[in-house]
Structure 1
Amino acid sequence: MFLSDLSIKQPVLATMLAVSLVTLGLFSYRQLSIDQFPDVEIPVLTVETQYPGASPETVEREVTKRIEEALNTISGVRHIESATTESRSMVAVELHLGVRIANAQQDAQAKINAIRADFPKEMKEPVIQRIDFAALPIVSIAVESATADIKTLSSVAEKVIKKRIETVSGVGQVTLVGLARREIQILLDPNKVKAYGLTYGQVSAALQRENMDVPAGKLEQGQRQPLVRVAGKFRSLDAFDRLVVAFRNSSPIYLPAIARIVDGVEERRSASLINGRSGLSLDVVKQSGANTVEVADALEQAIRSINSELPPHIRLRKVVDNSTFIRESVEDVQVTLLLGGLLTVLIVFLFLNSWRSTLITGLALPVSVISTFIVMKALGFTLNILTLMGLSLAIGLLIDDAIVVRENIVRHMQAGADHFSAAREATAEIGLAVMATTFTIIAVFVPVAFMRGIIGRFFFQFGITVGFAVLVSLYVSFTLDPMLSSRWYDPAADPLVPRAWFGRLLNRLNRQVDRLQQVLATTLGWSLSHRWAVMVLAVAAVASSFLIFGKLGSEFMPSADPGQFQVAYKAAPGISLERSAEIAREMESEIRRNPAVAYTYTTIGGTAGKPINEGTIFIRLTPRKTRKHYKLLTAEVRQAIARFRAVRASIEEAGNVGGDVKPIQISLRGSDFERLVPLSEQIMAAAKQVAGAADVDTSEEAPQAEVRIAVNREAAGDLGLDLATVASTVRGLVAGEVVSQFEDRDGDSYDVRLRVERQSRARAADLLGLDLPAQGGRALVPASQVTRLETGTAPSKIRRRDLMREVRISASTAGRSLGEVVGDIQRRAAGLAVPPGYHIDYTGDTEIMMESFGYAMQSLVLGIVLIYAILASQFRSFLQPFALMLSLPLSLLGVAGMLYLVRDTLNMMSMIGIILLMGLVTKNAILVVDFANTQRREGLSRRDALIRAARVRLRPILMTTLAMIFGMLPLAFEIGAGAEFRAPMARAVIGGLITSTVLTLIVVPVVYTYLDDAGARFVRWWTKENAAPAGSIARPH
């Protein structure tokens, strides 16, 4: 072969090429970023709109529906979902993969601008954003104090801590949770305002016109042009005491005469608790592309530095650090990679009984792994769980080619060839078979890398990484291996050379392999004489595998033990922030009774638009060695919080922000909300009866009390009042309005809010006593004269999906797999009467799992087609590849059996393992059939050629198979953080390798004979049918 011949003739060139690859690989490795998963852009847009003071139904009617209808015309829309609450609309648009998110964002902005005139005047400008799922907080920092109040903590956090954290390298955004920002409140006394004949609008106008700086141009002084500014901005609170609101009888009315001026804090919509103690927290998001671990380390240093400068009674503490699990997972995968490599090399040494042969063969590992970092850097990949796991799985693959080449070289040397000729001839003999085995591996990884859907984006880096590593290993086996074999004589290859005690011990092991070869020859001889019995065995093996698969559970992804989880809770709508925090403290206290809980950290409201009756309790567990598995602990915590019956609580994975993240999501859609509710109640009841369904809940929330002010339009019209004036005045007095800004001496700006005193807006009846400006503001009339009160209830949250009202049922799993639980729910729900036009969809992990399994099956089929194409090209036959590919179904028995024995589920990781296995198991068959064909060309009978091929190739087959199995053992044994996530893939491969290796050596030769016979019969038939009849050729005249 060209590469091997060139390397043998030019050893310096071969060495320098390998050294260059390793050098570039090490250089690239130092520049790779570290993250948990690949950075995948999921095309989702959100449109958030504020409509202050509006009820959910009003916001839905006036804002949400109009935005949905406009955005539905954008090209590439897959789903539109919305959540409408008091004063707020959030519309999320999920686009098909492949849609350019930047173009979609521009289209969305244009669509909303086109209908801007249709929105209420009081509505704020819609904010359109892309959802970056990588831009979730990587670290949360608590600001604690035993003595300072929340206002002081907020001031320090906003003015000092936040600004310092934002300067840390790699930090993109810092959000304060639980902030009580300073606010200057002008609290009107309605009686005094009425006594002076003033209106709310007049007070608001006075605050705006008297608190401003106005630029007045510049003076012309030749070369100097000083600016002129009318300075009226308030610089101290005393200035508000001197503000003149109006004049009555030529006497000024100062602001304190009608209002109380309070230097307070804005109405809080979020809170933060650390082990039950009130405080603040900062959620830190890294910049796009920044190294998560490096940013977290830099934040740790910044926290220590800031703590040394803060007053002793205020301290920073890191309460959430998502880099910890990433760091541990990546480090553990690296350890697994190293252990797998050592075990693989050990297997090679045990079989070859030579440290020189082991070194020559083992060089493929470091060169291939390190060289892979070059393509990872070039393509912008990161060191994440999937890329490193790919390398861990490929450890056995990377040395396979080198094992086969070196074993063949040693065999030629033992047959009497010199090491130079052996290296050249043995590599040429085995070269095409090695190339075929390598390309079958690549044939299954290329479809994995280009799978459709979200899962395809995640596994792209995995497939490309393994594929490139395997190509480098092929290059090494054709260059370094033959070159070193030709130049570095190995005395151990000579069986006559005396051995030390350890060598003699290994010789005994190899003699056992010789005996195994004899057993195989005898068994295969019997099988070739009883082909029907072997075929029955093969069919039974395949049928058994499908029976076992039917007993396996299914889920999207296996769950790992991250050492943390969270409890999401919802209290009754309409409660105060203080009451919500009190509930959270009680739940925290109950949770911390568990000795496995290190600490708790709670956020209430605020984040992702959550109302103040909702919160998330983050639970950090003690080190894994000192506690139970986190799944057992979630069950204990679920039982502990069950006594809080007034609260709807559920267990979630830590780190999820916003929305319901439970794996089971059932979407009920229809036009009439009143018909959706009873249907959802029936499905909830059915789900609660299913074993393994936990935390079953509905998105439908208890209605919130509502006071409606109905305007008597006729009476209002007689007084010169319109609805807009009534609404704006009531909103301003009750909800309050930011009418100006106050700038302190440090240059920090704060809102000035105008509203009535709390005691004048505490009861519904108080609203009728508010005065409204009539006759163009020249007179005041009580609200009771033109309005009446109506009490009732209104939905606290309205969900919509694909332009229809939606009620969503959600649930977690406990003790059973996702597929089993959802299957039981579907069977129970199938008997329900669903009205025409109403839909039940299973979304969430169920939808993703089914889509991903479908894409994985497509990749599997494509991989099989590519394998067939490679084998047909290699063996120049349309029939022989079918014999080799019989290894594929024979491996399924081991996959199913292994997963069943260790109680794993069928998930995406085990599915990828099956796809990987399709490329692996054909390697053994290729080696046997290729050698058998060679022997037949040299004159052996078909039977003798197959038996000899099986005997000769048994040793490299055992070496490569055991190397692959032992290389994956560290993954299969769940060593390290997040190992549960990685293990099913390795277990599927190990189980399949075991059964396919045993069955392939027997079944493939038998099927080979059947196909060979069929091919011979076809050739005889074809020859007979196309043979020209005797004498049919006309003779020339």
Structure 2
Amino acid sequence: MMAALEAVLRRPRTVLTVMVVLVVAGIVAYLTIPKEADPDIPVPVFQILVIHNGISPEDAERLLVRPMETELRSLEGLKELTAVAGQGYAVFIVEFNVEVDQDAAARDVREKVDLAEGDLPDGAEDPVIKEINMSLFPTIIATLYGDVPERTLYTHARRLKDQLESISTVLEARLTGHREELLEVIIDGMKLDSYRISQSELIRAVTRNNRLIPAGALDTGQGRFNIKVPGLFVTAKDVMSLPVKVSGDGVVTLGDVAQIRRTFKDAAGYALYNGKPAIAIQIIKRLGSNIVETNAAVRKTVAEFSRDWPKSIHVDYTFDQSKFVFSSLSNLQSSILTAIALVMIIVVAALGLRSALLVGISIPASFMIGFLFVGFFGLTINMMVMFGLVLTVGILVDGAIVIVEYADRKMAEGLDKREAYILAARRMFWPIFSSTATTLAAFLPMLLWPGVAGKFMSFLPMTVIMVL
């Protein structure tokens, strides 16, 4: 071991070249690594919604909750199961232990829901399973508001939504605060009577036609082609031309007995911003993407896309998490720089300027190499990583101070500089190695901490281990 160490130390140019390359790579990694406030901890949590229109909370508990609970309780790795019965629905929150694989948990939940679905009453809709991921919450909300017609605001919001989803780091842009658009059909009773069409015939004609019907396949001997009968309503013209009754050569369409117009669903609530009608667009970033860069790209896209909009439509932003992330990381970076400055002042006072510079190089060099490993293992820069850097500031200089002080003493005794530092490295290698190993041993048990808190805190010992 000592022979290998001495062989490395007698090649200073090679050592300096490798260190410079690693430091530069670390700087590049620091600039490109995604930054966020808190570590991304994937916790397997699922929401199951069962809708049964008109059912009371008591009946929902008996007919919806109990059959579903019976199956879900047998899930492997289940931590907590919460069920809520309400008027017309039942909702279940299924939480697994953090060690459970998320894909396996999702597969098991779907299997259990399929088994329980056969015990649900006939009027119940198919259960809706939704995976809850804390990282898939909006990182910024763009709100359109102004004294303009609702359709104008909705049209601009929908176009902006499509534009925002074209950003590579945006997973989804979700509209909220708007009413769902639909076609309103107003039946003329007198015309129904004149054509002798009953309401049941009218409803049957609509429900039977608005569907996609597979018609099998056609085998021509040279190839096989699937055939389908298009029957879905796409435009208002499709609805108006729907045949309701056929008598001889005459065809009565829906447009002959009704008025059809575009409108919105009845309002169940109102969205206002600064006292004016508003539609919000919630932006959800992709996992692992940089929240600061994503939100900056969103702002830039909105500014460019809304340049030619009417002056009466305004855009504002709320819940911009990048501001909090940038503020938190900036404060921690300032704390790290302050800690480095204080350590350097103490080292200069104790060893002198020349020795202090040699000791001080170890801090930024170790940090940059640590960032290189952070990027290599696919981690993000967050508050726990920065706290780990703060902890290592004082620990990093301990070994360097010991080696530099011993080398200075040998140079004072007349030994050559190069030989003095080689001798100091050989003499102090095992004591410094043992000291660093005991420090790392104190942090290793934190990697075995179970649960969500353990996953959250694991970033701290990983940072300390990589930097030291």
Calculate the TM-score normalised by the size of structure 1.
Answer: 0.41
Distance (whole Å) between structure 2 residues aligned to residue 446 and residue 419 of structure 1:
38
Contact 2:51-2:89 within 8 A present in 1 as well: yes
- Find out whether 1:453 has 2:454 as its counterpart: no
Distance (whole Å) between structure 1 residues aligned to residue 230 and residue 112 of structure 2:
42
Paired letter, 2:449: M
Which residue number corresponds to residue 438 of structure 2? 440
Paired letter, 2:19: A
Give, in angstroms, the shift of residue 20 of structure 1: 3.6
Give, in angstroms, the shift of residue 24 of structure 1: 3.3
Give, in angstroms, the shift of residue 257 of structure 1: 9.2
CA RMSD for the aligned pairs?
3.7
Paired letter, 2:49: E
Paired letter, 1:266: K
- 1:786-935 aligned within 5 A: none
Q: How many residues align?
A: 466
Identity between Structure 1 and Structure 2 (%): 26
Which residue number corresponds to residue 393 of structure 2? 395
Which residue number corresponds to residue 26 of structure 2? 25
Distance (whole Å) between structure 2 residues aligned to residue 33 and residue 311 of structure 1:
36
Contact 1:50-1:89 within 8 A present in 2 as well: yes
Which residue number corresponds to residue 105 of structure 2? 104
Paired letter, 1:296: N
Which residue number corresponds to residue 115 of structure 1? 116
Give, in angstroms, the shift of residue 360 of structure 1: 1.2
Give, in angstroms, the shift of residue 193 of structure 1: 8.3
Which residue number corresponds to residue 556 of structure 1? none
Which residue number corresponds to residue 155 of structure 2? 155
Contact 1:179-1:270 within 8 A present in 2 as well: no
Give, in angstroms, the shift of residue 198 of structure 1: 7.2
Alignment CA distance shift 1:418-1:239 (3 Å): closer
Instruction: State the SS of the aligned residue for 1:129.
Output: strand
Give, in angstroms, the shift of residue 157 of structure 1: 2.0
Partner deviation per Cα, 1:39-89 (whole Å, 9 max, x = no partner)? 211121222233334333333332232222211111111110123333333
Partner deviation per Cα, 1:724-747 (whole Å, 9 max, x = no partner)? xxxxxxxxxxxxxxxxxxxxxxxx
Distance (whole Å) between structure 1 residues aligned to residue 227 and residue 418 of structure 2:
94
Contact 1:178-1:268 within 8 A present in 2 as well: no
Give, in angstroms, the shift of residue 276 of structure 1: 2.9
Alignment CA distance shift 1:291-1:80 (3 Å): same
Alignment CA distance shift 1:236-1:404 (3 Å): closer
Paired letter, 2:180: R
Alignment CA distance shift 1:60-1:361 (3 Å): same
Alignment CA distance shift 1:203-1:55 (3 Å): farther
Distance (whole Å) between structure 2 residues aligned to residue 181 and residue 381 of structure 1:
40
Instruction: State the SS of the aligned residue for 1:91.
Output: strand
Contact 1:286-1:295 within 8 A present in 2 as well: yes
Paired letter, 1:385: M
Partner deviation per Cα, 1:903-952 (whole Å, 9 max, x = no partner)? xxxxxxxxxxxxxxxxxxxxxxxxxxxxxxxxxxxxxxxxxxxxxxxxxx
Which residue number corresponds to residue 74 of structure 1? 75
Distance (whole Å) between structure 1 residues aligned to residue 69 and residue 221 of structure 2:
60
Which residue number corresponds to residue 324 of structure 1? 323
Distance (whole Å) between structure 2 residues aligned to residue 203 and residue 128 of structure 1:
35
Distance (whole Å) between structure 2 residues aligned to residue 213 and residue 46 of structure 1:
30
Bigger CA radius of gyration: 1
Alignment CA distance shift 1:57-1:391 (3 Å): same
Which residue number corresponds to residue 469 of structure 1? 467
Instruction: State the SS of the aligned residue for 2:295.
Output: helix
Alignment CA distance shift 1:221-1:391 (3 Å): closer
Give, in angstroms, the shift of residue 442 of structure 1: 0.7
Q: Greater RCO between the two (CA within 8 Å, min separation 6)?
A: 2
Contact 1:244-1:254 within 8 A present in 2 as well: yes
Distance (whole Å) between structure 2 residues aligned to residue 214 and residue 123 of structure 1:
24
Instruction: State the SS of the aligned residue for 1:308.
Output: coil
Which residue number corresponds to residue 284 of structure 2? 285
- 1:233-632 aligned within 5 A: 237=236, 245=244, 261-269=260-268, 271-353=270-352, 355-414=353-412, 417-420=415-418, 422-470=420-468
Alignment CA distance shift 1:447-1:269 (3 Å): farther
Distance (whole Å) between structure 2 residues aligned to residue 449 and residue 95 of structure 1:
20
Alignment CA distance shift 1:33-1:212 (3 Å): closer
Paired letter, 2:57: P
Task: Extract unaligned runs of 5+ from structure 2.
Answer: none
Instruction: State the SS of the aligned residue for 1:34.
Output: coil
- 1:136-215 aligned within 5 A: 136-146=137-147, 148-158=148-158, 160-186=159-185, 201-209=200-208
Paired letter, 1:397: I
- Find out whether 1:129 has 2:127 as its counterpart: no
Give, in angstroms, the shift of residue 284 of structure 1: 1.0
Contact 1:151-1:181 within 8 A present in 2 as well: no
Instruction: State the SS of the aligned residue for 2:48.
Output: strand
Contact 1:62-1:120 within 8 A present in 2 as well: yes
Contact 1:408-1:427 within 8 A present in 2 as well: no
Partner deviation per Cα, 1:300-341 (whole Å, 9 max, x = no partner)? 111011111433332332222111111222233223222322
Distance (whole Å) between structure 2 residues aligned to residue 121 and residue 156 of structure 1:
41
Contact 2:42-2:98 within 8 A present in 1 as well: no
Give, in angstroms, the shift of residue 269 of structure 1: 4.6
Distance (whole Å) between structure 2 residues aligned to residue 133 and residue 226 of structure 1:
45
Distance (whole Å) between structure 2 residues aligned to residue 115 and residue 156 of structure 1:
43
Give, in angstroms, the shift of residue 449 of structure 1: 2.9
Give, in angstroms, the shift of residue 156 of structure 1: 3.0
Distance (whole Å) between structure 1 residues aligned to residue 150 and residue 429 of structure 2:
74
Give, in angstroms, the shift of residue 230 of structure 1: 7.8
Distance (whole Å) between structure 2 residues aligned to residue 458 and residue 364 of structure 1:
28
Alignment CA distance shift 1:310-1:216 (3 Å): farther
